[in-house]
Structure 1
Amino acid sequence: MSLKKKLGLGIASAAMGISLIGGGTFAYFNDVETTNNTFAAGTLDLSIDPSTIITATNIKPGDRMSRTFKLKNTGSLDISKVLIKTDYSVVNKTGAPANVDDLGKHIRVNFLKNEDKNGVIQPEENIIVSTTLADLKGQMPDAVENKIWAWFGWGDEASGIAAGTQDELYVQFEFVDNNADQNEFQGDTLKLEWKFDAKQTAGTNR
Structure 2
Amino acid sequence: MSFKKQIGMGITTAVLGLTLIGGGTFAYFSSSAETNSTFAAGTLDLSTEPSTLIDVDNLKPGDSMVRTFELHNNGSLDIDTVYLETDYSVIDAEGNNSSDFGEHIEVEFLYNVNNLDEVIYKTTLAELQDMTPEAINENIFYPDLGDKGLPVGTTHDLFVKFNFVDNGEDQNEFQGDSLDLTWTFVATQTEGEVK
TM-score, length basis structure 1: 0.75
Match of 1:144 among 106, 125, 141: 141
SS in 1 for 2:173: helix
Cα 1:205–1:165 change in 2 (3 A) is same
Runs of 4+ in 1 over 4 A off after TM superposition: none
Residue among 109, 124, 127 paired with 1:132: 124
Give secondary structure in 2 for the equivalent of 1:145: helix
Q: Is the 8 A contact 1:69 1:169 kept in 2?
A: yes
**How big is the shift at 1:27?**
2.0
The one-letter amino acid paired with 2:28 is Y
User: Which residue type is aligned with residue 64 of structure 1?
Assistant: S
Partner Cα distance (2:48, 2:154) in 1: 12
> Does 1:108 find its partner at 2:106?
yes
Match of 1:89 in 2: 89
The answer on 1:164 being equivalent to 2:167 is no
Please tell me the residue identity of whatever aligns with 1:103: F
Which residue is equivalent to 1:39?
39
Larger Rg: 2
Structure 1 pair 171/147, CA: closer, same or farther in 2 (3 Å)?
A: closer
Deviations 1:130-163 (A, max 9, x none): 11111111222125323796xxxxxxxx441000
CA contact (8 A) 1:144 1:161 kept: no
Q: Specify the code of the residue in structure 2 equivalent to 1:181.
A: D
Relative to its length, the structure with more helix (as a share) is 2
Asked if structure 1 preserves the Cα contact closer than 8 Å seen for 2:110 and 2:161, the reply is: no
C-alpha deviation, 1:193, in angstroms: 0.9
* Identity in percent: 49
CA–CA separation in structure 2 for the residues paired with 1:203 and 1:186: 52
Structure 1 segment 1-206 matched on structure 2, within 5 A: 25-93=25-93, 96-109=94-107, 111-115=108-112, 124=118, 127=120, 129-139=121-131, 140=133, 141-142=136-137, 143-146=140-143, 158-206=147-195
Aligned partner of 2:8 in structure 1 is none
The CA distance in 2 between the partners of 1:147 and 1:65, in whole Å, is 21
Residue 161 of structure 2: SS of its match in structure 1? strand
Q: Is the 8 A contact 2:111 2:144 kept in 1?
A: no
1:8-52 Cα deviation digits (max 9, x unpaired): x9xxx9xx89xx69xx95321111111122111111000000011
Q: Which amino acid aligns with 2:176?
A: G
- In structure 2, stretches of 5+ residues that fail to align are 4-10
Q: Per the alignment, do residues 187 and 148 of structure 1 end up closer, same or farther by CA in structure 2, a change over 3 Å counting?
A: closer
Mark the CA change 1:112 to 1:137 in structure 2 (over 3 Å): closer, same or farther. same
Supply the AA of the counterpart residue of 1:76.
Answer: S
> Which position in structure 2 is the counterpart of 1:6?
none
Q: Give, in whole Å, the separation in 2 of the partners of 1:184 and 1:31.
A: 86
The aligned residue for residue 5 of structure 1 is: none
Q: Report how many residues are paired.
A: 176
